[in-house]
Amino acid sequence: MSPDLPPVVPSVTAELVAALSPRLRKRLDAGVTKLLARPAVREGDTVRITVDDGTDVVLHAPGGTVTGADAIRCGCLLAPGCLHRAAAASAAPVADETVPPDPAGAAEETGTTEETGATTRPGRTSRTAQEETETATAEQRAAARAVSDAAAAVLEAGTDGAGAVLQAELLHAAHTARLAGLPRAWAAAVSVVTEVRAARSADPGHRLADLAGALAGVLGVAHRLPHATGPDLTELRGTVRQPYRPDGSLRLYGLFSEPVLTATGYAGAVTWTADADGRLYTVSDVAPGGPARATGAADRAVRIGDTALTHRELSRAGLAVSGATVSPTGRLGAGAGVRAVRASGVAWHAEPLDRLWAVPAAEQVTRALNGGRDLLFLEVTLTGTVRETTGDCLLADCAGLPLRLATAHDDPSLPHRDNLRLLAAAGGSRLRIVARLVPGPLPRALLLAVEHPADPAARVDLGLDRLQHADLPAGADTPPAAAVPTGDEAPLHLLRRRVHQAVSGGRRVLASAGSTSGDGARLRRLGLATAGDLLDDLHAAAADRSRDAFGRLLPADPDRFARAWLAAAVYTDAVERALCADAWGAAATEVSSPASLLRLRAGTGG
């Protein structure tokens, strides 16, 4: 996947790949690799790729996105049915149509939202008993089945085997789900494709856990939707666009800014603010682009009213907004009726921002695990560093709780990692930080912003600002990294490792003779009986290859393997959240029961 190419809507990629002959489909992955090695030149809304001396591929992207198959043209003799057009679409990022680049839309100003599958009719203001028992339509069940089959094929092949053809089939299923009124399934399927492409291109921001989560998300939605009714069905269908509701006048105080750099080809910045009651609001500027846009967006003016404040300035100043419109997630709209002017900001130690750090860490973690904001406002004492497989991270003490602080993004164009190395030299400093929770068996968070080590009235946005040695306390010196064990307190890693291995290597990794170890029995001996059963079932589903009457191997059952893997992934996620709550001293979250997992493995609803 190349960030130099404009995003392409999923239906275009699916259409171009479907039009290829079987012979060209076999050559598609090689064509994508060759195209990615060629330079791309942008001229306004057009991107030109020189394939060879006599052939150019041109992508026309008005508004920054390729929206039609005819917008990708090739000069070779086989066009329009050539390999080059499909390879260009497969090499480009997938356009995320659920998050339009310009947030100033009609929905923000009218307070409406486009909901598919739950159409609002004139004069209809309340949910009826019929809606409470509503079930998915035949078209939606068929679309969910198509998404499930395509996602199961990707899982069976693993990232190494999920080439452009399998990706296009999942994008086609996603497009079918969108037409059937299932935007949540559509978005989940698209996220799987973007994560697969990031994995195959060795994107530095890719994490195997993210791909596993995306696959579990799309398979879970497709599995539950045919059996859902009422509010559950509405939630599983999802919405195309978030509603923006009027919120009157707001007095906001800047907290921090963070860069955005996604695998879908979007980049920019998001600035977090809070009102006098501690409610959080965001101002975003995210559009198609790469690392250069992520680093430069902080110095762009925010898109609210006529204010000339940049994101970097807003993170330390304030904003007075009238006629505000706000989404359910706290994102501020930029409609024509919104007015905003610059106001004074306050330090983190002053009211009203000070109250964010007054909430106990356990209470903040409970809120995050129950679906609330995953931001943590903590006061910590830096104690050193610890070396992990993904790099060094900071060790800190948070009210007696040992905490690990990792970088929020590994892209070398962002200063996260350099700033973390410098902060390691400020050992013993007591600082206020803003971090994002990472669920796991050990207290862990991604460091986003920190109080300036030498000036408590200042702050550092670790993804945008660069610390210097002069910013550190006098006599600071980086301590040697400690080799602290990183294993789980409970042996859940035995199951998680197999879940992740299936994602990267596919069914064949778990079906090999050397993979059927005694881990299931070990889990049962240590009290995780359900985990042991799920692991054994996963191995059995991977190795299940029946034979016909002549002894020939029959095709594998990808549906059974997908169900077994999904059950293991759901259980692992639930237990990890429970372990996370316990590690932070927070209220325990609900863990999936063995009965519900058995229903999942059997293919029934629940």
Helix axes 83-91, 164-179, angle to 10 degrees: 70
DSSP-assigned letter for residue 287: E
Query: Which residues make beta-bridge pairs with 285?
Result: 269
CA atoms of 304 and 283, how far apart (whole Å) = 8
- Give whichever of 103-117, 481-495, 566-580 has the largest mean pLDDT: 566-580
The stretch 466-473 carries a mean pLDDT of 82
Given a cut of 90, whether residue 376 has pLDDT beyond it is yes
C-alpha 453 chain-centroid distance:
31
CA atoms of 10 and 188, how far apart (whole Å) = 12
Contact 267, 293 (CB under 8 A): yes
Strand 444-452 to 401-407 pairing: parallel
| CATH 1.20.120 at 354-471, yes or no | no
Q: Which of 570, 474, 462, 560 is nearest to 510 (CA)?
A: 560
No. of H helices and E strands in the chain? 22, 15
pLDDT number for residue 117: 37
**Mean pLDDT of the chain, nearest integer:** 82
Q: 104: pLDDT confidence band, cut at 50, 70 and 90?
A: very low
DSSP-assigned letter for residue 229: B
CA atoms of 480 and 425, how far apart (whole Å) = 10
- Give whichever of 19-23, 246-250, 470-474, 510-514 has the largest mean pLDDT: 19-23
Q: What is the DSSP string of 177-214?
A: HHHTT-HHHHHHHHHHHHHHHHHHTT-TT--HHHHHHH
The one-letter code for the residue type at 127 is R
Per domain, the residue ranges of the chain are: 10-91, 135-237, 245-343, 354-471, 493-602
Helical (H) or strand (E) element with 461: strand 455-461
The one-letter code for the residue type at 229 is T
CA atoms of 17 and 82, how far apart (whole Å) = 10
C-alpha 465 chain-centroid distance:
24
The stretch 212-233 carries a mean pLDDT of 91
Helical (H) or strand (E) element with 507: helix 507-511
Which CA distances in Å does 383 have to 379, 389, 394, 403, 428?
13, 20, 8, 10, 6
Higher pLDDT, 549 or 577: 577
Contact 274, 357 (CB under 8 A): no
Token look-up 């037409």 returns 179
Token look-up 């917008």 returns 71
Q: Which two tokens stand for residue 439?
A: 């669920």
The stretch 511-518 carries a mean pLDDT of 64
Given a cut of 80, whether residue 99 has pLDDT beyond it is no
Higher pLDDT, 38 or 104: 38
pLDDT number for residue 596: 45
pLDDT number for residue 390: 67
The stretch 212-225 carries a mean pLDDT of 93
The stretch 248-271 carries a mean pLDDT of 87
Contact 501, 215 (CB under 8 A): no
Q: Which of 464, 390, 446, 394 is nearest to 424 (CA)?
A: 394
Which CA distances in Å does 269 have to 249, 275, 310?
24, 20, 10
84 Cβ neighbours under 8 A, 6+ residues apart: 31, 35, 51, 55, 57, 74, 76
Q: What is the DSSP string of 403-446?
A: EEEEES---TTSSHHHHHHHHGGGTT-EEEEEEEE--SSS-EEE
Within 10 angstroms of residue 391's Cβ, the number of other Cβ atoms is 14
The stretch 242-263 carries a mean pLDDT of 86
Contact 565, 505 (CB under 8 A): no
pLDDT number for residue 307: 82
pLDDT number for residue 269: 92
Q: Which of 357, 350, 292 is nearest to 316 (CA)?
A: 350
Q: Please tell me the pTM assigned to this model.
A: 0.79
Q: What is the pLDDT of residues 52-94, one digit of tens each?
A: 878 889 998 887 888 888 899 998 888 888 899 999 999 888 8
Helix, strand, coil: what percent of the chain each, to 5? 40, 20, 35
The stretch 211-236 carries a mean pLDDT of 91
Lowest mean pLDDT among 132-136, 167-171, 307-311, 602-606: 602-606
The stretch 201-222 carries a mean pLDDT of 87
pLDDT number for residue 478: 53
CA atoms of 384 and 437, how far apart (whole Å) = 20
Lowest mean pLDDT among 63-67, 172-176, 585-589, 592-596: 592-596
Q: Which of 184, 172, 169, 167 is nearest to 225 (CA)?
A: 184
The stretch 318-326 carries a mean pLDDT of 90
CATH T-level topology, domain 245-343: OB fold (Dihydrolipoamide Acetyltransferase, E2P) (2.40.50)
Domain 245-343 and domain 354-471, same fold? Reply is: yes
249 Cβ neighbours under 8 A, 6+ residues apart: 320, 321, 322, 323, 324
Higher pLDDT, 552 or 409: 409
Higher pLDDT, 485 or 299: 299
Higher pLDDT, 303 or 89: 89
pLDDT number for residue 13: 92
- List the end-to-end C-alpha distance of the chain, in Å, as a whole number: 37
